[in-house]
Chain A
C-alpha cells in the first residue's frame, strides 16, 4: 500500500464508519492509528459522550414532533464521539425502513431508533425479534390487523423479502404460513402486546419446519438460513464499502456471520479490515448519501450552528430521516443523483457558505480559516480547501480554474489588486461553494 493510501486510510474509515471528521477529531484518530480507532468505533460505550448529551438536553427536543426528531438525529450525527453507533443506526433504519408518514407517531419512531442502537451490534436474530415486536413496525406493516382467521400478510412478506432472506428464498406459501405465526402480535399503549385471542395456534409449515410456530420461531428460522448470512452481508457491503458488492467479500462476511451466530460487531470488524475495504479502489468510490454530505460538511467546516433547514435540505436531496420512501429504504448509490437532488446539493453549498446576516459566530469564515493557516496566495488557498474538502481529489486543470476564480474581481476580470478584505471574503466563500459543487465532493 502506498504512502498516500495509508495516510488516507483513517479519513476513509471515518467517512464510511461515520460521517467524516472535524480537523480535531481527525488528529485524534490519526494519533491512535487504524486498529485502535476501529476498536473504539466498534465499542461505542468506550467513548464518553457527555458533551453530546448536554448539548441534546439543552435543545429541549419535543419527541412528539417529527421535525424535532430529525434534528435530534442530525445533532447526534454531527457531534457524537461514537460515529459508528450513529452510522449503524442509519443502516438499520434504511434496512428496516419504517416511515412516520404512515406510523404518524414520532415517539414510536424514536423508540424504534433506540431499538436499532440497543441491538444493532449484537446478534441479528435479537435485532430482528426486537423489530418484530416494535410498535412502529407493527403499525407500519399492518401486523396490528393480522388476526387469526383473517391474516394480513404484509409483515410476513417483508420480513423475508426485505429484512432477512431476499426474493427467491421463500415461497408464497411460506408468506401465508408466516403470517399465521405472527397473528396476535400487536401493540397497545406504545408497547408490544401479545393478543392470544387473535393468535392462530394451528400447525404451520414454514421454510421446511412445521409445528405450532409463532413469531419467535419465524425469527429464529429465518435468521439461521444461509440465505440470511448472504443477504445481510451483501447489504452491509453495499452500505459501507461499494454500491456493487464484490461476491468474494460478501462470501467472507457471510462466513463470519455463520461462525459468529450473526453477530454484527464481528461482521463489521471483518468488513473494515477486509483488503477490499482498505484497497485504493474503495477510496472515493461511493456516492455520499444526503446525510453523509450534510453532516460531513458540518464537521469538515466546523459549523456549530445547525439551521432548521438542514434536515429539510436532506429531504429534498432524497433522504428524509424517519420517512424513507418505502419499506425497501433508500436505494443509495447512483439513485441519490438526479438533476433535482444534484441542484439541492449545489444549493446546500450556497446555504453553508453564504454569510448569515453578518453574524460569524457558529458559521463559517473561510477568510479566517486561511488566515489561521497563514496562507497568502491563491494557489495555497485553493490547495488548502481542496485538501480539506475533497482530500485533494480534483484534477489539476480544474484547480487552475478555481485559482482563476479566486484571482479575479466579482465580474470575473483578472485584477491587479484585490481592493478590500470584503471582496477576498466573497471570493473565498465562492471558492468553498464551487469546491462543494464538484463531482468528487459528492463521493465518500
Chain B
C-alpha cells in the first residue's frame, strides 16, 4: 500500500468531532426490552390472507347437493363421497380437514357468494378493487392502509412502531397508506443489517453513521422520501424482530412450507406482544386455467394446515380471542370447466373468517349454478359489507370514513 498514513490523517481529520449513537433505535429497543404479553381485551388483531390468482370457490366450498355441479364440471368435480359436508347441500374440499374441524368447533364463518357489481375479470384490476375497496375508481390507498392512517395519533396500538406487518417481500395495496409505512418482512432470519464479518467491532459505529447520514438527506422528492423512511425503518425493525423470534416458544408444529413459516412468524409476533394490529400474508398459485385438481388440492391443504396450526398456537398462548383471520381472492372462477381441466376467470367467491371470537356458520346464500351472468356466478354479498363488519365490530373503527359509505354489518362478529 502506498498511502502515507501520516499525510492521510493530517489532511483528513481537521476538527471533526465524533458523536456516537443515533436516536432511532431507542423506541423499539425499549419496547423489545420489556416484553409485555398482550392482554386479552386490548385492541383486536386482523390477519388477512390473500389467495393470489383467483381461487376457484366452487371447488373450495362445494355444492355437492346440486346436480348441475357435476354436469358443468365433468372432469374436475370433487366426488360427493370425498366432500367434507357443512350441510346436506354444500361442503368443504377434502384437503381442508383442519378447517372442517374448526368449523365444527364454531370458529369459522363462511361468507358465500361475495363479490361486487359489474365484476372485473382482470387479475390486476380485480385484486386492486378488493385491496382498495373501490370498484369504481383507481385510488392510491388500501382499505386497511386507510384504517392505519386513521388509527395513527389516537393513542392506541397503531401509534407504536410496527402498526402492521406484511409477511411477504412486496407490499400489497391493502396496506398502502399515506401516514404510515408498513414493513414487509419475508424471512426474519435474512432481515438483519449485516456488516463485514472481519470487523464486527465496527458495526455499531457504522450503524450510527448510517443513521446520521440518512437524516441529512432532504425529502425533496417522493423517491428520496420513501427510501429514507424505509431505509431507517428497516434497520430499526430488524434488531427488534429478531429478538421477538428468539423469545418465542411453542409446541405447535407448522407445515414446512413458505406459507406455514409465514403463519408461524405472525404467531411469534403476536405472542411476543408486538403491537401490530394488522398482518398480511399471501398464498399464490390459484390461477388454475389448466390442470386444476392437483394444484388446487395442494394449495387448499397448505391453507387449511397453516390456519389450523396458527389457531392452535394462539390458543396455547391464550391470545386466540384477540385474533381474526380473513381470506380473500381477486375473484372466483367460471362455473363451467374449460378445455384444459381448469377454469377461467370468474366472479363471486367464498371468504373464510376464522378465530375464537368469530360466530361460526354460513352467511349469505350459495349463488345459483344455473341463473348466471355470462357464465359466471351472481354475487349476493357485497365484499364491502364484510369489510365494514370487520372495521366496525372487530377493529372498532368508523367504516364509513374508511369505505366512504355505509354498509350493513354481517353477524359473524
Q: What sequence of 0s and 1s flags, for each residue 129-160 of chain A, a beta carbon within 8 Å of any chain B beta carbon?
A: 00000000000011011110111111001000
A30 in the interface (beta carbon within 8 A)? no
Shortest Cβ gap from B239 to chain A (Å): 11
Residues of B within 8 A of A (CB): 1-13, 16-18, 20, 52, 121-125, 166, 169-171, 181, 183-186, 190-199, 201-202, 204-206, 208-210, 212-214, 216-218, 221-224, 226-228, 230-231, 233-235, 237-238, 289-290, 338-342, 344-345, 374
Tell me which of A287, A402, A421 contacts B223 (CB under 8 A): A287
CB neighbors of B among A212-231 (8 A): none
Chain A neighbourhood of B171, CB < 8 A? 335, 338
Chain A neighbourhood of B2, CB < 8 A? 371
- With A346-B234, A407-B12 as contacts: A145 and B338 at CB distance below 8 Å: yes
Of the listed stretches A33-41, A46-54, A431-439, name the one at the interface; the rest are far from the partner chain: A431-439
- With A340-B183, A407-B12, A408-B205 as contacts: A326 and B123 at CB distance below 8 Å: yes
Of the listed stretches A111-119, A251-259, A266-274, A393-401, name the one at the interface; the rest are far from the partner chain: A393-401
Interface size bracket, A side: 35 or more
Known: A343-B190, A438-B217. 19 other contacts (CB 8 A): A145-B338, A152-B340, A286-B223, A287-B223, A334-B226, A338-B183, A339-B233, A340-B186, A347-B192, A347-B193, A355-B196, A376-B4, A404-B17, A404-B18, A414-B18, A424-B1, A427-B202, A434-B210, A439-B224
A354 in the interface (beta carbon within 8 A)? yes
Q: What sequence of 0s and 1s flags, for each residue 327-356 of chain A, a beta carbon within 8 Å of any chain B beta carbon?
A: 110010011011111111011001101110
Pairs of residues from A and B, 4 with the lowest C-beta to C-beta distance, nearest first = A145-B340, A378-B12, A150-B339, A377-B11
- With A343-B191, A412-B205 as contacts: A439 and B228 at CB distance below 8 Å: yes
Bound form: Cα–Cα A346–B231 in Å: 9
Bound form: Cα–Cα A141–B238 in Å: 39
A405 in the interface (beta carbon within 8 A)? yes
Q: Do B289 and A342 touch across chains, with their CB atoms under 8 A apart?
A: no
Shortest Cβ gap from B8 to chain A (Å): 5
Q: Do B205 and A410 touch across chains, with their CB atoms under 8 A apart?
A: yes
| B341: nearest chain-A partner, CB-CB | A145
Q: Do B1 and A421 touch across chains, with their CB atoms under 8 A apart?
A: yes
Tell me which of B122, B191, B199, B224 contacts A440 (CB under 8 A): B224
Chain B neighbourhood of A405, CB < 8 A? 205-206, 209
Chain A neighbourhood of B340, CB < 8 A? 142, 144-146, 152
Shortest Cβ gap from A370 to chain B (Å): 7
CB neighbors of B among A376-434 (8 A): 376-381, 394-395, 397-398, 400-408, 410-418, 421, 424, 426-427, 429-430, 433-434
Shortest Cβ gap from A192 to chain B (Å): 18
Q: Do B231 and A439 touch across chains, with their CB atoms under 8 A apart?
A: yes
Bound form: Cα–Cα A157–B334 in Å: 14
* A-B pairs with beta carbons under 8 A, tally: 260
Chain A neighbourhood of B196, CB < 8 A? 350, 353-355, 426, 429-430, 433
Q: Do B223 and A443 touch across chains, with their CB atoms under 8 A apart?
A: yes
Q: Do B209 and A151 touch across chains, with their CB atoms under 8 A apart?
A: no
A285 in the interface (beta carbon within 8 A)? yes
Q: What sequence of 0s and 1s flags, for each residue 157-188 of chain A, a beta carbon within 8 Å of any chain B beta carbon?
A: 10001000001000010000000000000000
Shortest Cβ gap from B21 to chain A (Å): 9
| B188: nearest chain-A partner, CB-CB | A340
- With A142-B342, A152-B342, A157-B345 as contacts: A167 and B125 at CB distance below 8 Å: yes
| B339: nearest chain-A partner, CB-CB | A150
- With A146-B339, A338-B171, A426-B198 as contacts: A157 and B206 at CB distance below 8 Å: no
Bound form: Cα–Cα A443–B213 in Å: 17
Tell me which of B191, B202, B228 contacts A410 (CB under 8 A): B202
| A173: nearest chain-B partner, CB-CB | B374
